[in-house]
Amino acid sequence: MDNITIRIASNNDISIILGLLYDLGRPKPQKDSDVEIFRKLVTKYVRDSDKTILVAELEGMKIIGMVSVMYLSRLNRSTLEMYIPELIVLEKYQNKGMGKKLINSCIVLAKKKKCHRIRLESGNQRKNSHQFYKSLGFEQSAISFTKNLD
């Protein structure tokens, strides 16, 4: 697909970004007040200088994928680490090179910021994503532990 632009998200994209996050299986609003809270969180993410959301736009009209990134400092590193919390391509547009385009744009950003690496987590159940990341040169380098406090 050639008619794709990868660009930095703006406030106008927030509703679509929220929709993509729900597609990724992230929690949906449980009550009306949650909708506003989620919107504010995405707005802040778009605004913060240590975070970025990139969107993949088809024919300048339809957003078909997104990736969120944050820049983290480590105590034993003089350079930043890029962390990718979310990456999603709409199902209809998967396996057409869109995820790769988004990750390649992250690599460009990470190099601009002189990051020493890119890191992300992917749920155990997401076997296809693991293959996707490996095909892009990512190595499985850690086991992730979570303790839910809800």
Ligand X SMILES: CC(C)(COP(=O)(O)OP(=O)(O)OC[C@H]1O[C@@H](n2cnc3c(N)ncnc32)[C@H](O)[C@@H]1OP(=O)(O)O)[C@@H](O)C(=O)NCCC(=O)NCCS
* Cβ–Cβ < 8 Å for 9, 17: yes
Residues shown for the chain:
150
Shortest distance, CB of residue 96 to ligand X, whole angstroms? 5
* Cβ–Cβ < 8 Å for 109, 102: no
State which residue, 42 or 103, has the beta carbon closest to ligand X.
Answer: 103
Site for ligand X in 87-106 (CB under 6 A): 87-89, 94-100
Tell me: does residue 132 bind ligand X (CB under 6 A): yes
* Cβ–Cβ < 8 Å for 113, 77: no
Site for ligand X in 107-126 (CB under 6 A): 122, 126
Shortest distance, CB of residue 139 to ligand X, whole angstroms? 15
CA proximity to 68, closest of 25, 106, 111? 106
Q: How far apart are CA 53 and CA 9, in angstroms?
A: 5
Shortest distance, CB of residue 149 to ligand X, whole angstroms? 22
CA angle 92, 96, 97 (to 5 degrees): 130
- Six token digits for residue 143: 């086991």
State which residue, 77 or 134, has the beta carbon closest to ligand X.
Answer: 134
In the complex, residue closest to ligand X by CB: 99
Shortest distance, CB of residue 61 to ligand X, whole angstroms? 19
Tell me: does residue 9 bind ligand X (CB under 6 A): no
Q: Which stretch binds ligand X (CB under 6 A): 27-35, 46-54, 81-89, 137-145?
A: 81-89
Q: How far apart are CA 51 and CA 125, in angstroms?
A: 27
Shortest distance, CB of residue 79 to ligand X, whole angstroms? 24
* Cβ–Cβ < 8 Å for 36, 89: no
Q: Which residues bind ligand X (CB under 6 A)?
A: 24, 87-89, 94-100, 122, 126, 128-129, 131-132, 135
